[in-house]
Amino acid sequence: MCILFIAIEQHPDYPVIICANRDEFHQRPTEKMHHWSPQNILAGKDLQAGGTWLGLSPSGKFSALTNFRRPAHFDTTKRSRGDLVVQALTSSEQSIQQKLTKESHQYNDFNLVFGQLNNLQAFDSVNKKFVTLTPGFHSICNGALDDIWPKMALGIKALENTIVSESVNLEQLFSLMKNQETAKEQHLPETGLSAELESLLSSIFIISPDYGTRSTAIILQTTSGDIEVYERNYNPQGSVKNQNQFHFSQADIK
């Protein structure tokens, strides 16, 4: 997962709106979002390491992970970060907080969003920092939780503009997640990559032969507590190759 935009208590019908893109190498084998057994979660699956980048549980838990981009610190011997999302969805809040506090050094750098949809937290493994996501608009990408990279600011503004009306337009949400506008050179973050690569990665939606946006997930929680989940998966050219939708009713969540 590369970027998430989250709106909390900003729409009268949808108190939680999450838009998320997963960026990954095209050759990395992946299974689209589906129900896992016996874990009883809804998530896509990284078939290489066995974890996931984003998922939900029938009880209304949510979790998603973004890599913290510090290439000089990357260690191939460390544990797969995708397992953290599965653990966040299947463990108690206290257990995952303790794990993150004590064991985050065993993983390459990451941000993890987790918790009930109406009480989300984010953890930054570089700064060892927990943050409760308060009402408003939030974005989490590949830097510190309080960083504002150009594509983060662009997406938040687009999300604000998209949900101003009484109805939420699903196609507009997917459209904002396909924005390919790159940042100007002077506004690029400095994470240790070349300027050319930083530019490629500076758009919300990334298209390149080897690496790019593989999927978009839209999660909507209604005032009644129902959860609507929509996913689109893309080929290397950025075209939709399949799409799925799921629904958790309040009865399921209870």
Reported pTM: 0.95
Predicted local confidence at residue 172, as pLDDT = 95
Q: What is the mean pLDDT of the chain?
A: 93
**pLDDT value at 253 more than 80:** no
Q: Which two tokens stand for residue 91?
A: 């463990």
C-beta of residue 123 within 8 angstroms of C-beta of residue 104 = yes
Predicted local confidence at residue 252, as pLDDT = 62
Q: How big is the chain, counted in residues?
A: 254
- What percent of the chain has a predicted confidence (pLDDT) above 70? 97
Q: What is the mean pLDDT of residues 109-128?
A: 95
Predicted local confidence at residue 251, as pLDDT = 65
Spatial CB neighbours of 177, under 8 Å, sequence gap ≥ 6: 5, 19, 20, 21, 155, 204, 205, 216, 218
**pLDDT value at 77 more than 80:** yes
| Alpha-carbon Rg for the chain in angstroms | 17
Residue 103: how many other CB atoms lie within 10 Å: 12
Predicted local confidence at residue 113, as pLDDT = 97
